[in-house]
Amino acid sequence: MVLKFLRCCCTAKQHGDDEDKIKFGGGNVHVVTSKEDWDQKVSEANKDGKIVVANFSATWCGPCRVISPLYAEMSQTYPQFMFLTIDVDELMDFSSSWDIRATPTFFFLKNGKQVDKLVGANKPELEKKVAALAGAGAGA
């Protein structure tokens, strides 16, 4: 039921004032601006042994605004991860290649391969997934 609500609210671009938009970034979050930027960041993460957390988001999305501060905070708490944000409106073709159907959608990549995914602004689940991957990464 919640997922249907998220899809309803966050799959069609809504127009509003600029103050309604969230500011991407903050903390140690890198805002991806192109496919080349993405490739460079994922390559850097792989070289450094970091897990990538990729947040496909939109500036006008209410649930994205809600989870954005937690995402920025987590980027500081977990320096062993690389936190990326992709604006689905700015990088439409790239986002489509990831089959994004709702925002926010989080992908977790290790060595360039998807190891997990979360659709929606579920704070406890995002924290749980990152903490679990942090624990798994410590033993690797």
Domain locations in the chain? 24-139
What are the pLDDT digits (tens) for 93-114?
999 999 999 999 999 999 999 9
Which CATH number among 3.40.50.2000, 3.10.20.30, 3.90.78.10, 3.40.30.10 corresponds to the domain 24-139? 3.40.30.10
What are the pLDDT digits (tens) for 15-50?
444 444 445 667 799 999 999 999 999 999 999 999
Q: How many CB atoms lie within 10 A of CB 97?
A: 10
Just list the catalytic residues: 61, 64
Q: What is the DSSP letter of 30?
A: E
Q: How many CB atoms lie within 10 A of CB 47?
A: 8
Q: What pTM was estimated for this model as a whole?
A: 0.82
Determine the Cα–Cα distance for residues 112 and 133; give it in Å rounded to an integer: 15
